[in-house]
């Protein structure tokens, strides 16, 4: 199979990577509910950027090109560009969250617990929405392939 074709193993890996991000979101949410964030939240936040990079790299290398080839519409190109822009935003937000939570756990951040909790909530909600939208793209692609039709037919 070509390097730019989504295989069954790639789909499993992508689903695993998506689940890892959702698990990290849940862990962030649970840790943010604690009265003292502590080092656990910092280590969770530190795990987010590399997990996010892994899934985004795979999506951009395999999912997006495969979706574009099978879309049958210029809408796919616009959708892919929007998702790539969201990837850039998510990466910056993940880096900012990680640095901020590390600083907070080291006592180098003057933000209140409420502000940090809202930052975490906003990040993980955006990340969950993004994962959901990419799962919809994947499901549409797989359905179209199974029916040997274009995605938007």
At residue 26, the pLDDT reads 92
Task: Give a three-class secondary structure readout of 7-46.
Answer: CHHHHHHHHHHHHHHHHHHHHHHHHHCCCCCHHHHHHHHH
pLDDT digits (tens, 9 = 90+) for 74-121: 888 898 999 999 999 999 999 999 999 888 888 888 888 888 889 999
pLDDT digits (tens, 9 = 90+) for 11-58: 999 999 999 999 999 998 888 877 676 667 888 888 999 999 999 999
The structure's pTM equals 0.85
Q: Which residue has the tokens 């809202």?
A: 118
Q: How confident is the model at residue 5 (pLDDT cuts 50, 70, 90)?
A: confident
- Domain range list for the chain: 8-146
- Please measure the distance between the N-terminal and C-terminal CA atoms of the chain and give it in whole angstroms: 25
Q: Which fold has domain 8-146?
A: 1.20.120
pLDDT at 2 over 60: no
Q: What is the mean pLDDT of residues 121-125?
A: 92
Cα–Cα dist 139/26, whole Å: 23
Q: What is the mean pLDDT of residues 125-146?
A: 90
């Amino acid at each position: 199979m070509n390097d730019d074709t989504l295989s069954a193993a790639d789909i499993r890996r992508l689903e695993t990577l998506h689940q890892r991000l959702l698990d990290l979101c849940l862990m962030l949410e649970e840790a943010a509910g604690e009265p003292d964030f502590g080092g656990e939240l910092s280590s969770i936040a530190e795990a987010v950027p590399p997990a996010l990079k892994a899934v985004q790299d795979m999506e951009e290398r395999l999912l997006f090109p495969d979706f574009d080839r099978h879309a049958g519409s210029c809408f796919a190109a616009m959708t892919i560009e929007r998702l790539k822009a969201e990837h850039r935003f998510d990466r910056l937000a993940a880096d900012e969250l990680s640095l901020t939570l590390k600083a907070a756990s080291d006592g180098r951040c003057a933000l209140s617990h409420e502000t940090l909790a809202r930052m975490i909530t906003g990040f993980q909600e955006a990340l969950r929405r993004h994962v959901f939208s990419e799962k919809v793209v994947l499901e549409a692609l797989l359905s179209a392939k199974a029916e040997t039709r274009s995605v938007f037919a």
